[in-house]
Structure 1
Amino acid sequence: MTSPNHPSIRTNRTGKLLDIVLILVVTIASLLCLAPMIHILALSLSGNSAIMSGKVTLIPIDMDWTAYKAVFGNDQMIRSLVFTIGMVSLFTMIAMTMTVMAAYPLTKKQLKGRDLFLFVIVVTMFFSGGMIPEYLLVKNLNLLDSIWSLILPGAINAFYLLIIKTFFSSIPLELEESARMDGASHFRILLGIILPLSLPVLATISLFYAVGRWNGFMDALLYITNSNLYPLQLRLYEMVMNSQVNSMLEGIGTAAPVPESLKAASIMFATLPILLVYPWLQRYFVSGMMIGAVKG
């Protein structure tokens, strides 16, 4: 019979204790990350008196949907939402196409000047022209007050490009050589072999591109003056920073929500759509980042 003090039993107990500690740490960290969003959600669903008295923490008090009625009833917010969804979708497709088309040739050792191209790409990760030169470039290209000013300047991210390039390099060369023996072109190899095997990293980088574009507002603040082209985050930024909530309160009546409740509801309105995309890509997320960053 094994003694309770046997080394293997002590090791199992230590392992279980460490598992419990790790679970507690991860749980606490997760709750801390979720706490701000839960607080915003509670504010958006709470009544005026509870918000004004500072009673709202993580649980709604005096449940009230008036703020959401004001947000969903505002034509400008809905217009910005529709515009942002279309703009993010177009941006992600263009960005992924350009990134893949740039990453694939860089995996070929026979490409002349490949090391120079990679060096230039890496340099752009650490140095940029700056805000003023970028604005002047967009202005000289006549892209101001255009959806293309929000798409073209950020269509390729150097870091994402290197991740996809590393992933492509990890695919066995025998597959490509076999296809070339059958007369397949580079374009056919890319579409028929490389891309189907790269779904994890493609889905992950697509999510990164989409989230980055969805949350961006600084470029829109610089390049866009036409209110019909305001993305959702810029609309939200103006509301939060300038307290421009009067137009949204029109027609609500005497029970209109206080600005804090309306701001919180607008934040949830702008955050939830992109969060709904994540579950569809979750299975690719970890594997895509790990393989693309480690192999090669």
Structure 2
Amino acid sequence: MLAASEAYPNLKAKLAVYDPAVGVAADTQALFATGWETAYPAHRDASLAKRFYFVQDFEPSFYPLGSEAILAENTYKFGFHGITAGGWLSHKLHSEYGMRTDHFDFAVDKSHYRVTNTERRNEIFFYARPVTPRRAFEFGLLVLADFAKLKPDVTINLAGWDVSNWKIPFEYENLSSLQLSELNEVYNRCAAGLVMSLSNMSLLPLELMSSGVTPVVNDGPNNRMVSDNPNIEYVPMSPQAIARKLAEVIDREDAVERSLAMSASVAAVDWEDSGTAFVQAFEGAMRG
């Protein structure tokens, strides 16, 4: 599975299926949990290894209030050292659950995302994930229905999932799921990208900016505490307000210049630096 997807880098590591009856090797020094389900076997393992938690989102919010949400939330009380994706999670887990936390910043791979179109753009992009509630698909459709009335001549691209079975009240291009290598060409046709993030911010805003697209994102600390880049248009959760902001982006007289400036604003943001921050956090925690 890892080798078949462009989303995963080449791994120089040995993979093995964890057997709870056996546990990890006796000389294991560090044990990482990732998704909340893995935190329980990590917690129960008999090893003396230091426990870490690689937290990429606030997983209790993935579920309605009930058993799964509580089980996910309880893992933040296990005493693991958290290393989080972005500053919002680090702040939240430390302030609300007392976890020891470090974080790394989001970045962007410029080999995938770059400006290739220096002309005006008359399309927009929506990260459409109806199967992922925290991406607020239905709310996004309300936004785009209003936007389509304001700008009926602008092409609306939906990508992230095949939405052909949904009743959508405006004209759109259904791009379904795209490979990484296909995204930059689509982005470079678009002036704005609508990205709804109700928990931890998506990677898309930085990737869109690298391709010269203005990210229009719902306002909130979960997003602002991950990136305070001034080119991200943070808007309150109002369909009409977000639709108007999308229309404003399309109409900007300096659209081309701003596109280039946005890309330049993330030119120095590199995953190598994020990786270094992760390793430094890990080594610091191991030293105590």
TM-score (norm 1): 0.22
Compare CA radii of gyration and give the structure with the larger one.
1
TM-score (norm 2): 0.23
Of Structure 1 and Structure 2, the greater strand share is in 2
Of Structure 1 and Structure 2, the greater helix share is in 1
- Greater relative contact order (Cα < 8 A, sep 6+): 1
